[in-house]
């Protein structure tokens, strides 16, 4: 069968000749049974969902409890991003840098051509046009994902502005990032399907020079929803470098003080540092209001007035379910009340979802994420630790009214953070832009039981971008430094480092975290307004005891001292760890960062 004879391929609902030619070419290679151009309508979603229910991929949850909600259990071998199978195929290996896997682009294309030949046999090929960012915003950008997974098509409908509206913005000649995804599970004539098709072999491949994404063998999350980490971070970071903007792994938060003054904050955290919770913070301070703009990714460009404007490129939240509860994140829980796809949570006997942390006690009669009766005495969790929800962001009760403003929001402050039991104070303000970039470049976090590294072991995760920067990270640091040449210093956000995870001598967390993190945000907002005091320390500006609003908080003097303490002996050790990390970037590491390191060491020595 020639490609043009494949049902559904023609007529294409667009006169974008390059797009149509590319779709024809991929169809000729992958040989699907039929093609479906997604329009993003409710009727289309209902039809794909019905098909997925028929195949056993999705289960309808009790619609009286969770209207529009569905459940999927993945193959147990397809539960998370696979960094070891993720590649940046730049022409020169050095341009991928020491933190990415690299493969030769010519060899990779040959390999992919072989793998993708006939890979969609027996399946529907969905053509999914999408906008990352509000439709038509100057900060937004377009993509088209071709996928043979209905689950991916439905999820992309939640996570992006998907369908006809995106195609309309693309017009007949617009620029789009092409992204091809296959489960790698072709069906022979008459072969029965399985609920979660995938392949043992997985490839998540990026071609930075041609801005293409190819994904093989996984149906899950960031491996398959290619608008998210693959496009909005890896490919977009390259676009941002070339075009003078920033594509970052950051939440975006609006904070309004009791006088009605609003600030916009972006924040980058390695995993397991409470990023989603901060994005949906419920302040414990009377009169302070926090609203959500994004929970994971920020695209930021300098606007006409010279300030840095951010949009959330996504339209949904793809969040970790375990640990989400009324107490930790009531806003997230309300967001999930309807129109949500849950993956790898547990199921209750009455057709709802459950995960560890949702309630104190597990209800009886649970089915675990592997489809077996949950045995609480087994020590195994009922939900997979990386169980996820995909929910429309607009359903979040705390969503800011301007979250889809095409102008974006002007960012006042950027926070970096990590999980650090010692050394790092509750909050530190950078002396200036370069110092803040230095802080971001040396972010380190201790593992939790959920992460791969041993508990307490430090993992460097610069700007929380380690697995997501699409090019040499030394060049990425240089790009961050270059932002100050693009606008007046006063226009740039101020940079901060926060640490909610300091422990005292008894090994207990000192800071209550969650809604009380608003106290730190308040100090930052007041710093921006020139109203809060700080003391200069060798590592940056730290709040005075009086400047931090601790009203109503039971915090001992000793614990407060721990939170604000900068121990120069500990910091001498801390600073000594950085060169080993920096050296991996060789001459791609900007001199300005070595200067920052030397200056930090000198300030520590002066105070010892």
> Where do contacts with Mn ion occur on this chain (CB under 5 A)?
296
**Considering only residues 129, 163, 221, 462, which one is a binding residue for ligand SAT as defined by CB under 6 A?**
221
Q: Kindly tell me which of 130 and 523 has the beta carbon lying closer to ligand SAT.
A: 130
Least distance from Mn ion to the Cβ atom of residue 553, Å? 30
Asked whether the CA dihedral 77, 78, 79, 83 is positive or negative, the reply is: positive
Instruction: Establish if 228 lies at the interface with ligand SAT (CB under 6 A).
Output: yes
Smaller CB distance to Mn ion: residue 166 or 465? 465
Which secondary structure element, helix H or strand E, spans residue 602, and what is its range?
helix 591-606
Catalytic residue chosen out of the listed positions 38, 198, 230, 273 = 273
Secondary element (H or E) of residue 388: strand 388-392
277 is in an annotated binding site: yes
Q: Mask of contacts with ligand SAT, 567-606, x by CB under 6 A? A: ----------------------------------------
Q: Is 516 annotated as a binding residue?
A: yes
Residue 66's binding partner, choosing from Mn ion, ligand SAT, none, with beta-carbon cut-off 5 to 8 A by kind? none
User: With respect to ligand SAT, which residue has the nearer C-beta, 40 or 221?
Assistant: 221
Q: How far is CA 256 from the centre of its chain?
A: 24
> What minimum distance in Å lies between the beta carbon of 249 and Mn ion?
6
- Give the DSSP per-residue string, 44-99: HHHHHHHHHHHHTS-EE--TTTSTT-EEE---TT--S--GGGEEE--SSHHHH-TT
Supply the minimum distance, in Å, between the C-beta of residue 242 and ligand SAT: 24
Judged by CB under 6 A, the chain residues 303 through 362 that form the site for ligand SAT are: 318
Q: In terms of CB distance, is 123 or 228 closer to ligand SAT? A: 228
- Cα dist. 600→146, 433, 536, 573, 596 in Å? 49, 15, 12, 12, 6
Q: What is the CA radius of gyration of the chain?
A: 24
Q: Does 270 contact ligand SAT by CB under 6 A?
A: no
Task: Please tell me whether 434 is known to bind a ligand.
Answer: no
Establish whether 321 is an annotated binding residue.
no
| 11 upstream amide cis, omega within 30 of 0 | yes
Residue 220 annotated as lining a ligand binding site: yes
List the single partner that 228 binds among Mn ion, ligand SAT, none, CB under 5 to 8 Å by kind.
ligand SAT
Closest approach of ligand SAT to the CB of residue 520, in Å? 24
Residue nearest to ligand SAT as judged by C-beta position: 222
* CB nearer to ligand SAT: pick between 235 and 308: 235
Q: What is the sign, positive or negative, of the torsion defined by CA atoms of 317, 219, 225, 480?
A: positive
Phi, psi of 122 (to 5 degrees): 80, -5
The three-state secondary structure class of 234 is helix
Residue 229 site contact among Mn ion, ligand SAT, none (CB < 5 to 8 Å, cut-off depends on kind): ligand SAT
Nearer Cβ to ligand SAT (72/413): 72
Q: Which residues, 491 to 520, sit near ligand SAT by CB under 6 A?
A: none
Write the binding mask 54 to 83 for ligand SAT: x where contact by CB under 6 A, - elsewhere: ---------------------------x--
Diameter over CA atoms, the chain: 77
Chain centroid offset of residue 108 CA: 26
Burial 168-206 (b: 16+ CB within 10 A, else e): ebbeeebebbbbbbbbbbbbeeeeeeebbbbbeebbbbb
Answer whether 581's CB lies under 8 Å from 575's CB. no
Query: Which phi-psi region, left, alpha or beta, contains residue 118 (left: φ > 0; alpha: ψ -120 to 50)?
Result: left
Cβ-proximal residues to 502 (8 Å cutoff; 6+ apart), any chain? 420, 421, 422, 424, 425, 426, 509, 510, 511, 562, 563
For residues 160 and 130, the answer to whether their CB atoms sit within 8 Å is: yes
229 marked as binding residue:
yes
- 384 near ligand SAT (CB under 6 A): no
d(CA 194, CA 60): 17
Dist. CA 256–CA 263, nearest whole Å: 6
| Residue 463 CB, nearest approach to ligand SAT (Å) | 14
Please indicate if the annotation marks 249 as binding a ligand: yes
DSSP 3-state assignment of 174? coil
Q: Considering the complex, what minimum distance in angstroms separates the CB of residue 234 from Mn ion?
A: 12
What is the number of residues in the chain?
Answer: 608
Among 122, 219, 222, 543, binds ligand SAT (CB under 6 A): 222
Least distance to ligand SAT, CB of residue 313, Å:
13
Cα dihedral sign, 389-205-229-273: positive
Interacting span for ligand SAT (CB under 6 A) from 65-73, 99-107, 220-228, 397-405: 220-228
Instruction: Name which position in 36, 181, 229, 527 contacts ligand SAT (CB under 6 A).
Output: 229
Tell the smallest beta-carbon distance from residue 224 to Mn ion (Å).
15
Site of tokens 């630790």: 385
d(CA 335, CA 399): 10
Q: Catalytic annotation on 273?
A: yes
Give the one entry of ligand SAT, Mn ion, none that residue 221 binds, where binding means its C-beta sits below a cut-off of 5 to 8 angstroms depending on kind. ligand SAT
C-beta separation of 544 from 563 below 8 A: no
Residue 447 site contact among Mn ion, ligand SAT, none (CB < 5 to 8 Å, cut-off depends on kind)? none
CB of 83 to ligand SAT, least distance (A): 9
Task: Return the number of the residue (229 or 241) whose C-beta is nearest Mn ion.
Answer: 229
Give 321 or 481: the residue with its C-beta nearer to ligand SAT: 321
Whether 312 and 484 have beta carbons less than 8 Å apart is answered as: no
Catalytically annotated residues? 273
Query: Per the annotation, where are the binding residues for Mn(2+)?
Result: 229, 249, 296
Query: Per the annotation, where are the binding residues for substrate?
Result: 81, 220-222, 271, 386-388
Query: Per the annotation, where are the binding residues?
Result: 81, 220-222, 229, 249, 271-277, 296, 386-388, 419, 514-517
Residues that bind ligand SAT (CB under 6 A): 81, 221-222, 228-229, 318
Query: Per the annotation, where are the binding residues for GTP?
Result: 272-277, 388, 419, 514-517
């Amino acid at each position: 069968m020639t490609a043009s004879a494949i049902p559904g391929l023609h007529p294409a609902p667009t006169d974008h000749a390059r797009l149509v030619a590319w779709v024809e070419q991929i169809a000729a290679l992958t040989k699907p049974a039929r093609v479906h151009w997604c329009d993003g309508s409710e009727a289309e979603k209902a039809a794909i969902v019905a098909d997925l229910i028929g195949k056993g991929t999705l289960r309808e949850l009790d619609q009286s409890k969770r209207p529009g909600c569905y459940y999927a259990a993945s193959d147990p071998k397809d539960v998370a991003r696979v960094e070891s199978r993720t590649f940046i195929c730049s022409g020169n290996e050095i341009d991928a840098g020491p933190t990415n896997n690299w493969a030769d682009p010519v060899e990779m294309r040959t390999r992919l051509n072989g793998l993708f030949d006939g890979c969609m046999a027996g399946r529907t090929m969905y053509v999914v046009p999408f906008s990352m960012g509000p439709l038509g915003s100057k900060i937004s950008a377009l993509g088209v994902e071709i996928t043979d997974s209905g689950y991916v098509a439905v999820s992309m409908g939640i996570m992006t502005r998907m369908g006809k509206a995106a195609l309309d913005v693309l017009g007949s000649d617009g620029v789009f990032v092409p992204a091809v995804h296959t489960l790698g599970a072709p069906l022979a004539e008459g072969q029965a399907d399985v609920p979660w098709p995938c392949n043992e072999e997985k490839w998540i491949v990026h071609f930075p020079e041609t801005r293409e994404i190819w994904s093989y063998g996984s149906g899950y999350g960031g491996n398959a929803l290619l608008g998210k980490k693959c496009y909005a971070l890896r490919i977009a970071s390259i676009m941002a470098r070339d075009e003078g903007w920033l594509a970052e792994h950051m939440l975006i938060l609006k904070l309004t003080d009791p006088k009605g003054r609003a600030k916009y904050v972006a924040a980058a955290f390695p995993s397991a540092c409470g990023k989603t919770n901060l994005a949906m913070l419920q302040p414990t301070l009377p009169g302070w209001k926090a609203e959500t703009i994004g929970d994971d990714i920020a695209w930021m460009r300098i606007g006409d007035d010279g300030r840095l404007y951010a949009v959330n490129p996504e339209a949904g939240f793809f969040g970790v379910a375990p640990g989400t509860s009324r107490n930790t994140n009531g806003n997230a829980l309300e967001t999930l009340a309807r129109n949500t796809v849950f993956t790898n949570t547990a199921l209750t006997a009455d057709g709802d979802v459950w995960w560890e942390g949702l309630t104190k006690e597990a209800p009886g009669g649970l089915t675990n994420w592997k489809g077996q009766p949950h045995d609480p005495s087994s020590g195994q969790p009922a939900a997979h630790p990386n169980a996820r929800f995909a929910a429309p962001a607009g359903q979040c009760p705390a969503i800011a009214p301007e979250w889809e403003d095409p102008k974006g929001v002007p960012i006042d402050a950027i926070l970096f953070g990590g999980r650090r039991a010692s050394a790092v104070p509750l909050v530190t303000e950078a002396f200036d832009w370069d110092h803040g970039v230095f802080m971001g470049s040396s972010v380190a976090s201790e593992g939790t039981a959920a992460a791969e590294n041993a508990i307490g072991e430090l993992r460097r995760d610069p700007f929380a971008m380690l697995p997501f920067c699409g090019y040499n990270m030394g060049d990425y640091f240089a790009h961050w430094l270059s932002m100050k040449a693009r606008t007046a210093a006063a226009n740039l956000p101020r940079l901060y480092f926060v640490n909610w995870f300091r422990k005292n001598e008894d090994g207990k967390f000192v800071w209550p975290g969650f809604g009380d993190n608003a106290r730190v945000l308040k100090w930052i907002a007041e710093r921006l307004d020139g109203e809060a005091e700080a003391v200069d320390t060798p590592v940056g500006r730290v709040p005075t005891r009086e400047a931090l609003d601790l009203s109503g908080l039971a915090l001992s003097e000793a614990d407060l001292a721990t939170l604000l303490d900068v121990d120069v002996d500990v910091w001498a050790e801390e600073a000594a760890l950085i060169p080993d990390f920096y050296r991996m970037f060789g001459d791609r590491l900007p001199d300005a960062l070595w200067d920052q390191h030397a200056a930090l060491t000198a300030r520590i020595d002066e105070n010892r």
